[in-house]
Amino acid sequence: MLDKNTAKKVLNKLLCSGGQFGEIFVQRKVSNNIRLDDNKIENASSGFENGCGLRLIYKDSTYYAFLDSLEEDKLLESAKILSAAVNSSNANKAMNLSDSASVYNVNILKYPNEVLPDIKKGILLNVNETARNASSNIFQVTAVLSDTEEEIFIANSEGVFARDFNVKTLLAVNVIAIKGSEIRTGYKSLAKTKGFELFEEKKPRTVAKQAAEMAINMLDAINAPSGILPVIIGPGFGGVIFHEACGHGLEADAIVKNASVFKDKIGKKIASDIVTAIDDSTLPYHWGSYKFDGEGCPSQKNILIENGVLASYLLDIKSSKKLNLPLTGNGRRQSYRDIPFPRMSNTFINTGKEKPDLILGSVKKGVYAKEFSGGQVDPATGDFVFGISEGYLIENGKLGSPIKGATLIGNGPEILNKIEAIGDDLDYAPGFCGKNGQSVSNEVGQPTIKISEITVGGTGT
């Protein structure tokens, strides 16, 4: 990639007109993607990216350039052009670069680029066969298998010199089932910062069965009730509500812009006493984990809410300086073409002590929300609307009929205060989060939780 001498030359060129912070981000990435649809492989593609982003910060302004080259003369020329955006009489110099350390280390056993295309194809064909064999009602199966091997290098004028190599593998399965006029969809995914050893731990056919069962179960759904009801949200993907309705409001760029309901709330009670929420990019092999963030800051575990009290925001370098708060390792970017922003990694409500069946048994009449579809959230207020893609009635403490057309309508901060039970079954679900035109990998998570009351939108009574 780049040696320290070249990196320091480029950084000094960035700062030569008085810039206050300079950064180099280099990325080399190989990606593969295979898609199955209508019983056959529809598309297979591979990609290679190799380039460098240069960032210069002066006061509240950020200047950015990227180029598809790592040649020293081209980097210096780009740095010279970028530095001209600042017109100050004080030339600055970069600090001496020293190797950065991180607690995050993983061992990859089967690198994706060493796996033969026929094996990858066989995984998708097995998924297709498994899902279709689940029921005669299965109409369509779509599956995607993707993998990446990525090397990054980051250096900045404050002495950071960080290197990372990460591997990601993802399988996503979408199943459509039809029964009469009813059409239902089931979706499941499996994704880790691992190689193809991932599929020895959890078989692709298991993912296919889960997606198919979800679609099949919902074919007999009845109209969802409406009104203010107690709701139990299942473990794993249920954490998407916290991610969307609360997590984005804890990203520090929203705090700086005065666009978050959590501004000036650190040290204040914002949730039920039993709620502890965490963002942890050091969880081994998790989809949102990394050795260094997109600014070279080591990954770390950040407690966001502790026993109901707001403890921290998620910060990048720029917001850290603006708010005078310590870095949290959450400056993330999609690629060398993009500026980093504060982003979540693996964000979850921490495990509780109660048994899920006892939580369920405590509700006489309510709704169990197992999986969610799309929704809308206003980060400035925390108001949200989420569709339930897999949900069930709760009748006398037991799961009843599946329901369709259900939505949850509420406010994130208010819901945090209405959590009255948390299970001991913490689970996670991988996904992608979009923000400012960029998409990054992350995980959501939570145990089974009980919300005392929330507005359920439905078509029934």
Which pLDDT band, with edges at 50, 70 and 90, does 233 fall under? Answer: very high
pLDDT of residue 369: 97
Q: Write down the pTM of the prediction.
A: 0.96
Architecture of the structural domain at 4-30+47-99: 2-Layer Sandwich (3.30)
pLDDT digits (tens, 9 = 90+) for 362-406: 999 999 999 998 788 888 888 999 999 999 999 999 999 999 999
* Residue type, position 326, single letter: P
Whether residue 320 contacts residue 334, with contact meaning beta carbons closer than 8 Å, is answered with no
Q: What does each C-alpha distance from 107 to 166, 179, 180, 194, 433 come to in angstroms? A: 10, 46, 49, 8, 26
d(CA 241, CA 258): 22
d(CA 403, CA 370): 11
pLDDT of residue 377: 87
Residue 461 has pLDDT above 80, yes or no: no
| Lowest-pLDDT range of 23-27, 87-91, 126-130 | 87-91
d(CA 433, CA 344): 9
The Cβ-side half-sphere exposure at 173, using a 13 Å CA radius, reads 30
pLDDT of residue 220: 95
pLDDT of residue 22: 97
The Cβ-side half-sphere exposure at 328, using a 13 Å CA radius, reads 30
Residue 459 has pLDDT above 80, yes or no: no
pLDDT of residue 87: 84
What pairing do the DSSP bridges indicate for beta strands 341-342 and 331-332? antiparallel
Which residue ranges make up each domain of the chain? 4-30+47-99, 223-457
pLDDT of residue 88: 80
pLDDT of residue 91: 86
Whether residue 31 contacts residue 167, with contact meaning beta carbons closer than 8 Å, is answered with no
Name the residue among 42, 37, 221, 219 with its Cα closest to residue 136.
219
d(CA 344, CA 332): 8
DSSP structure string for 339-373: --EE--SEEEEPP-SB-HHHHHHT-SEEEEEEEEE
Average pLDDT over residues 236-247: 93
pLDDT of residue 425: 98
Residue 460 has pLDDT above 70, yes or no: no
> What sections of 50-203 are H helices per DSSP?
72-83, 117-133, 198-201
Residue 9 host element (H or E): helix 4-15
Average pLDDT over residues 221-233: 96
Whether residue 261 contacts residue 286, with contact meaning beta carbons closer than 8 Å, is answered with no
Residue 155 has pLDDT above 60, yes or no: yes
pLDDT digits (tens, 9 = 90+) for 75-114: 999 999 999 999 887 889 999 999 999 999 999 999 999 9
pLDDT digits (tens, 9 = 90+) for 387-398: 999 999 999 999
Q: Percent of the chain at pLDDT above 90?
A: 95
Residue 63 has pLDDT above 90, yes or no: yes
